[in-house]
Chain A
């Protein structure tokens, strides 16, 4: 029983990170109807921003490790948001009126550009991510152990997701985002600045990826320029699983993938963890082609 609860905690903390990345995929898909494959590399940039910023910040704020941690997180989010906006402005906006396939290929190109620039600037060797605070373990009843990193992941992911929900549902720019997602032409007709909304969406999604990068690096403190590929792929699967374009769906999908993966890895089938996570995707799509929470849209010809 305690093993089960322990695996559940492990799965949730892994799934929360997938969910944060998945939100970026799903938001961009929601407004632009294309998969931003460079998203997983923005996640990597988030981790590396933390790697370079953390030593200075922790030295300056040695007495306030909580504040230092928050500052590192916010810096990474800001850097990633800027990067996301710049990528959209330079690579995707000129192709706005072209077929989706053109943009998709460009996204793969941007992804490779970021990976290889990363290898060139940061070096291809794995680096150890600095510790932002003193590690502690908390023992829950039944010998279940939760580490401070896992708590950080769960709490921060929850705060960010609630914040995102607030922005999307209650603010003016969130309403504009939903309008653009629903019908871009009509949104433009009623005076919504589509370019600005799309920039904002990219910034928001990339900021979440940046936060995901920091949380991932905190839990698995070995980072390298290709670290984004696999988590990015899983998060993409999570987004599709939950129903692409659907924000709560991405969060749910991330959790499902994280938990399935963890439970598989805990058995003697551990080498098939990725295969089974993808098999779950296929199964769910067979019965619910639009994903768990997605609505099937009939394309009119």
Chain B
């Protein structure tokens, strides 16, 4: 009996010792590459966003590796799909950090899902860079969370100014997606600014992501006679909303934010989308050499596809990270965080990136319109 117990103890000891040995072996191979995690909506409702952003990131990492990587190491890009579903991102980010041992996380486009991943990165002191979540709350999670795009208070201001100066309207109705923090935030900032500028919000109506029927809300809007309608939602619903508004005989201009930016918007909305506007981060029609160079490389890699703003920001998010690793000289969390926070005038595809005290990038916005079934550049509005 005693022998049996001893044998058993020896077995337990053996088990306890082996993982240590394994871990050391693993960290040896980890040393030669820089593991970067990415979580994105590669399928599902906002797949167009996730795919664009992901392609931009892919291109950036490929370029960085072709140039020999940074600090003598190449990048290993580990990405996971959250199916555009709420609740998936937290699990995925946990997996990226604890199992894959990534040194930084890139993602997401949608603010709601960035808000799920951010607390986990913060807890583990792993820097996270969101390419295009514009809701202010995202970087408020903590000092390890960054973004390379402008935030909704700015976007709200831009659209309020646009409505007042370019559309020359005073009475605007707002249709908000209450299930998306992005939409709620943008609607609020727009309303605040527009009212401060002497405009009037005649009616605000609400819907939830995934709804298909908006005729009831739009009929109520029509009765309140707005001069324009602001729809700060995502493209799946925005396309249907504009389509149904036109079917109900609403002819006033309709406009939205960067959530509209996807080819699916025109596929769903069709001819109804003509003459609508939205604000976004960049236009592929921009003649700046950095933009044209990026468009050329992107088209060469992805069968002639024109990169949209999400692709450009996905690209910039990886480039900003590489720049910070270069400056920090290490991939150690706290040091990398400091280098990221010190990012100043980094020249990317979407303009110059400078991290402010709240870890948000200050950048200009562009207004796009839809003409003959295509996205056309209208104007650039600076901060």
Measured CB to CB, the closest approach of chain B to A178, in angstroms, equals: 35
CB within 8 Å of B: which A8-41 residues: 10-11, 14
State in angstroms the CA–CA spacing of A261 and B208 once bound together: 14
**Contact A124:B47 (CB < 8 A) given known A3-B220, A221-B268, A265-B216:** yes
Neighbouring B residues of A6 by C-beta, 8 Å: 219, 222, 248
Which single residue of chain A is at the shortest CB-CB distance from B43? A124
B178 near A266: Cβ-Cβ < 8 Å: no
CB distance from B62 to the nearest CB of A (A): 24
- In-complex Cβ contact of B247 among A137, A266, A267 (8 A): A137
Whether A123 is near chain B, meaning CB under 8 Å from some CB there, is: yes
Pairwise interchain contact B210-A266, C-beta atoms closer than 8 A: no
- Determine if A145 is an interface residue (Cβ-Cβ < 8 Å): yes
**Which listed residue (B205, B216, B219, B236) contacts A126, Cβ 8 A?**
B236
Q: A7-B219, A124-B43 are in contact. Are A222 and B248 (CB under 8 A)?
A: no
**Residues in B whose Cβ lies below 8 Å from that of A270:** 205-207, 216-217
Interface pair B213/A224, CB less than 8 Å apart: no
Q: Which of B47, B243, B270 contacts A125 (CB 8 A)?
A: B47
Could you mark each residue 207-245 of chain B with 1 if its beta carbon is under 8 Å from any beta carbon of chain A, else 0?
110101101110110110000000000001001100100
Given A125-B43, A135-B247, A145-B249, also A221-B240 (CB < 8 A): yes
- Decide yes or no whether A92 CB sits under 8 A from chain B: no
Q: How many residues from A make CB contacts under 8 Å with B?
A: 40
Give Cα distance in the complex from A137 to B249, angstroms.
8
B264 at the interface (CB under 8 A from A): yes
Q: How far does the Cβ of B290 sit from chain A's closest Cβ, in whole Å?
A: 30
Q: Are the CB atoms of A222 and B216 closer together than 8 Å?
A: no
The verdict on A10 contacting B247 (CB below 8 Å), with A128-B267, A221-B240 known, is no
Q: Mark A254-268, 1 if CB is under 8 A from B, else 0.
A: 000000011111111
Given the complex, which residues of B lie within 8 Å of A14, measured CB to CB? 213, 215
Q: Is the CB of A271 within 8 A of B220?
A: no
Contacts A10-B215, A270-B216; A124 near B83 (Cβ below 8 A): yes
A12 to nearest B CB, angstroms? 11
B44 close to A (CB within 8 Å): yes
**How close is B349's CB to chain A, nearest CB, in angstroms?**
25
A17 to B48, CA, bound (A): 29
Knowing A3-B220, A10-B216, A221-B268 are in contact, say whether A139-B249 is a contact too (CB < 8 A).
yes
* B164 contacts A by Cβ under 8 Å: no
- B45 at the binding interface (Cβ < 8 Å): yes
Q: Given A11, A128, A268, which contacts B264 in the complex, CB threshold below 8 Å?
A: A128
Asked if A88 is at the interface (CB within 8 A of a chain B CB), the reply is no
The residue from A3, A149, A220, A271 contacting B219, defined by CB atoms under 8 A apart: A3
| A203 → B minimal CB distance (Å) | 27
B249 lies within 8 A of A266 (CB): no
Assembly CA distance A149 to B212 (angstroms): 15
Cα of A222 to Cα of B47 in the assembled complex, Å: 14
Q: State in angstroms the CA–CA spacing of A270 and B317 once bound together.
A: 38
A224 with B45, Cβ < 8 A, contacts A131-B270, A266-B216 known: yes
Q: Any chain B CB within 8 A of the CB of A143? A: yes
* A147 on interface, CB distance cutoff 8 Å: yes
Any chain B CB within 8 A of the CB of A230? yes
CB distance from A20 to the nearest CB of B (A): 15
By the criterion CB–CB under 8 Å, are A222 and B206 in contact? Answer: no
Complex contacts, A264 vs chain B, CB 8 Å: 216
A145 and B45 CA atoms in complex are apart in Å by 30
How near does chain A come to B302, taking the closest CB pair, in angstroms? 17
Those of B7-43 within 8 Å (CB) of chain A:
43
Residues A125 and B48 in contact, CB atoms below 8 Å apart: yes
Closest 8 CB pairs of A and B: A265-B216, A220-B212, A128-B267, A124-B43, A266-B216, A10-B215, A147-B247, A145-B249
Listed A/B pairs (7) with beta-carbon separation below 8 Å: A124-B44, A124-B47, A137-B249, A219-B213, A261-B213, A263-B216, A264-B216
